[in-house]
Amino acid sequence: MPQAIFDISWIDLVDILIVAFVIYRLMLLVKGTRAERMLWGLAVIVLAYFISQRMELFTLHWILSNFLSSIVIIIIVVFQRDIRRVLVQVGRTSFFGRGEVLKKELFEELARAAFQMSQKKIGALLVIEKDVGLGDYLDMGIEVDAKVSSEMLLSIFNPLSPVHDGAAIIRKARISRVGCFLPLARDQEISKSLGTRHRAAIGLAEETDAVVIVISEETGEISLVADGEIDRDMDAVALLKRLKDMFVGNNSHTAR
């Protein structure tokens, strides 16, 4: 058995485990995203680089060598949105034990309001803040600091209301601001059937861990956007169950 194996100390083992854990977490964060496919492409390029070096394919090796010498800049430019999302996830305040306590009644009011707006085909964007603060999106909205109720939400998103086109942001179990504008998703692979509200919800979900309820003005369809995924055509019961599963079932969001 090689002597090098016996030279490994416990510090080396800790170092290896930390690196393995970081790589594992990064793989989970990019799994199923556009970044995952692009990382596989980069892996193929790196493999081709070593093969060209081994087989003495000088022209191909020179091209790949110049490409890989700028790989850090290329990664930053290509993956800027994904890097931002990863850093946001890593810096989530719940990692340090913080988490707002939300009541079950809040989700019942949200589900009731969503169902009523769906029946009347009133378009709406309801954003529930989780661990990542939404301060960047609050500056452009109008402060209301109101209790969450179906009546209040119906009033906010009434087509005659001056703030009905924006989003209502709910933080600490209260309606904090209304008329907020969200970043639109730029992914070309998003279905063309999704309107501006859905793209705004997906765009916010790409940058934060917020949960967004979308009611389509054209069809009355209720959608839930969270963790980079969108659940469409939900009814009030399914929406309420999903909200309770995500918040009440979470250790850092235990109901009173």
Does position 176 have pLDDT exceeding 80, yes or no?
A: yes
Q: How many domains does the chain have?
A: 2
Residue 100: per-residue pLDDT: 45
The CATH number of residue 189's host domain is 3.40.1700.10
**Separation of alpha carbons 44 and 52, rounded Å:** 12
Tell whether 111 and 235 lie within a shared domain. yes
Residue 200: per-residue pLDDT: 86
- 211 occurs within a structural domain: yes
Residue 154: per-residue pLDDT: 93
Does position 152 have pLDDT exceeding 90, yes or no?
A: yes
Give the DSSP letter of residue 92.
-
Residue 249: per-residue pLDDT: 59
Tell whether 83 and 166 lie within a shared domain. no
Residue 158: per-residue pLDDT: 92
Which domain, by its residues, includes 84? Answer: 3-96
Residue 80: per-residue pLDDT: 67
Residue 254: per-residue pLDDT: 37
pTM here is: 0.60
φ, ψ for residue 124 (rounded to 5)?
-155, 155
Residue 94: per-residue pLDDT: 43
Q: Considering 96, 113, 144, which residue would you say is the last residue of a domain? A: 96
**DSSP run (H or E) holding 142:** strand 142-147
Residue 97: per-residue pLDDT: 38
Give the DSSP letter of residue 161.
S
- 253 occurs within a structural domain: no
Of residues 73 and 129, more confidently modeled: 129
| Helix 10-30 with 80-90: angle, nearest 10 deg | 120
Tell whether 113 and 230 lie within a shared domain. yes
- 78 occurs within a structural domain: yes
Tell whether 114 and 179 lie within a shared domain. yes
**Tell me: the pLDDT tens digits for 99-150?**
444 577 889 999 999 999 999 999 999 999 887 777 766 667 888 888 899 9
Residue 251: per-residue pLDDT: 42
Q: Considering 36, 68, 96, which residue would you say is the last residue of a domain? A: 96
**Tell me: the pLDDT tens digits for 2-11?**
555 556 777 8
- 152 occurs within a structural domain: yes
Tell whether 193 and 148 lie within a shared domain. yes
Q: Considering 96, 126, 151, which residue would you say is the last residue of a domain? A: 96
Does position 212 have pLDDT exceeding 60, yes or no?
A: yes
Tell whether 91 and 112 lie within a shared domain. no
| pLDDT averaged over every residue in the chain | 78
Tell whether 143 and 239 lie within a shared domain. yes
**Separation of alpha carbons 39 and 33, rounded Å:** 10
Tell whether 71 and 12 lie within a shared domain. yes
Tell whether 121 and 204 lie within a shared domain. yes
Largest CA distance in the chain: 79
Residue 116: per-residue pLDDT: 93
Residue 96: per-residue pLDDT: 37
Does position 93 have pLDDT exceeding 50, yes or no?
A: no
